[in-house]
């Protein structure tokens, strides 16, 4: 207000000075608006998540803390490239990503900074954190075997290794090997089995392909329902969403599919994460940490479970989602999430040698 007045053509100096003083007094006397008093600043979120439920998370965070949420959403690869290009001028406070492989890529590019938080340490299992406490998993997703129970018996798909059985020739649909979900799964197998066994497995699965790899996880489920194949590898929540859908066509797909959580008598089912990290150059560092801590709170965890069908790290948050709760309690592979990133280069080479395009 003062600058606007002083830029005008003024009467004598004393009058201008008086006007400026009155303007300053007016601003001071009025004080901040109610909105300003209730605001505790902003948190800038760069997110690779594209779920409607996240709107509910942001609204609840603002209501709970008074911190305004500003965000940018785009695919993971593009998001990381943007952060690299912005460098130390980036406004990002929090980075939300899916899959440990993407966290490893971002970590390797120096896009995170460590977080010292007793709340996060107590809430997030050690194998679901970055090695330097620079990222934290808030939900889990299992890479399961989806199958047509009218054509495949449960005992035929009780392990990942069984997918190489010649009796399943022409029965398997998959998405491309370059997808980060598949790369992380193979990274876990390399850790558990070694490169040679992992490559033999991949070649055996390729020999049983019903078609060349294509599409996303939901496309694989549709292909099973349409009879194009009988088996696929998918993240569990895609199937749960179809089961809970109000769309009759999607419910019809779900009715034709069963899920196997493999290797319950062995290493356990491959699990990955969705989570967040504090950006390296976060201008609102305290608010960024507050947001990360909010994501492990019971209300936020309940939103993850109810709306996204991801397994929350807080198991009690599944109470309102009977479909998800019915799948819980399976044995999880304990592969450290960091390994799923470190082995990705080798995982792609294994897939390439096996002919899994």
Terminal Cα distance for the chain, rounded: 63
Task: Compute the average pLDDT of residues 316-322.
Answer: 76
pLDDT tens profile 65-118 = 999 999 999 988 899 999 999 999 999 999 999 999 899 999 999 999 999 999
**pLDDT of 288 strictly over 60:** yes
Which of 235, 280, 288, 228 lies closest to 256, judged by CA? 228
**What is the C-alpha separation between 301 and 310, in angstroms, rounded?**
10
Q: How confident is the model at residue 169 (pLDDT cuts 50, 70, 90)?
A: very high
3-state helix, strand, coil in the chain (%, to 5): 50, 15, 30
Structure pTM?
0.82
Q: Which residues contact 254 (CB under 8 A, 6 or more apart)?
A: 221, 239, 242, 243, 245
Residues in the chain: 357
Looking at residue 202, its pLDDT comes to 98
**pLDDT of 22 strictly over 80:** no
If one counts every other C-beta atom within 10 angstroms of the C-beta of residue 353, the result is 12
pLDDT tens profile 215-233 = 999 999 999 999 999 999 9
Tokens 């799948």, residue?
Answer: 327
Tokens of residue 46, six digits? 């760069």
The structural domains of the chain, ordered by start, are 38-140+271-323 (3.40.190.10), 143-264+339-354 (3.40.190.10)
**pLDDT of 167 strictly over 80:** yes
**pLDDT of 28 strictly over 80:** no
CA atoms within 13 A on the CB side of 26: 8
**pLDDT of 165 strictly over 70:** yes
Bridge partners, 145 (sequence order) = 233, 260
Looking at residue 39, its pLDDT comes to 52
List the single range of 24-38, 150-164, 224-238, 337-351 with lowest mean pLDDT: 24-38
pLDDT tens profile 4-20 = 322 333 334 343 343 33
**pLDDT of 52 strictly over 70:** yes
Bridge partners, 201 (sequence order) = none
Which of 309, 331, 181, 313 lies closest to 261, judged by CA? 331
**What is the C-alpha separation between 122 and 161, in angstroms, rounded?**
35
How high does pLDDT run on average in the chain?
88
List the single range of 68-77, 153-162, 199-208 with lowest mean pLDDT: 68-77
């Amino acid at each position: 207000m003062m600058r606007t007045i002083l830029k005008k053509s003024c009467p004598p100096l004393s009058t201008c000075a008086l006007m400026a003083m009155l303007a300053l007094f007016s601003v001071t006397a009025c004080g901040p608006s109610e909105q300003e008093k209730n605001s505790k600043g902003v948190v800038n979120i760069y997110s690779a998540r594209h779920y409607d439920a996240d709107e509910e998370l942001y609204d609840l965070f603002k209501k709970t803390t008074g911190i305004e949420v500003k965000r940018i959403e785009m695919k993971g690869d593009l998001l990381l490239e943007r952060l690299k290009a912005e460098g130390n001028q980036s406004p990002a406070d929090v980075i939300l990503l899916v899959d440990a492989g993407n966290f490893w890529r971002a970590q390797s590019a120096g896009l995170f900074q460590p977080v010292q938080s007793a709340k996060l340490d107590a809430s997030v299992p050690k194998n679901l954190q970055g090695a330097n406490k620079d990222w934290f998993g808030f939900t889990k997703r299992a890479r399961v075997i989806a199958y047509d129970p009218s054509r495949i018996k449960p005992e035929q798909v009780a392990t990942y290794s069984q997918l190489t059985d010649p009796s399943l020739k022409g029965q398997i649909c998959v998405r491309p090997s370059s997808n980060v979900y598949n790369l992380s799964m193979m990274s876990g197998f390399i850790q558990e089995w070694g490169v040679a066994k992992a490559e033999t497995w991949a070649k055996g699965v390729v020999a049983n392909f019903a078609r060349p790899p294509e599409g996303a996880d939901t496309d694989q489920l549709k292909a099973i329902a349409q009879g194009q194949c009988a088996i696929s590898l998918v993240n569990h929540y895609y199937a749960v969403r179809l089961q809970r859908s109000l769309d009759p066509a999607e419910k019809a797909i779900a009715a034709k599919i069963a899920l196997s959580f493999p290797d319950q008598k062995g290493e356990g089912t491959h699990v990955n994460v969705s989570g967040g990290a504090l950006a390296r150059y976060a201008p609102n560092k305290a608010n960024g940490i507050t947001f990360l801590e909010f994501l492990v709170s019971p209300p936020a965890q309940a939103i993850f479970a109810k709306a996204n069908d991801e397994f929350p790290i807080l198991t009690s948050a599944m109470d309102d989602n009977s479909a998800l709760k019915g799948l819980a309690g399976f044995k999880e592979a304990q592969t450290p999430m960091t390994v799923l990133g470190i082995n990705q280069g080798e995982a792609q080479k294994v897939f390439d040698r096996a002919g899994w395009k």
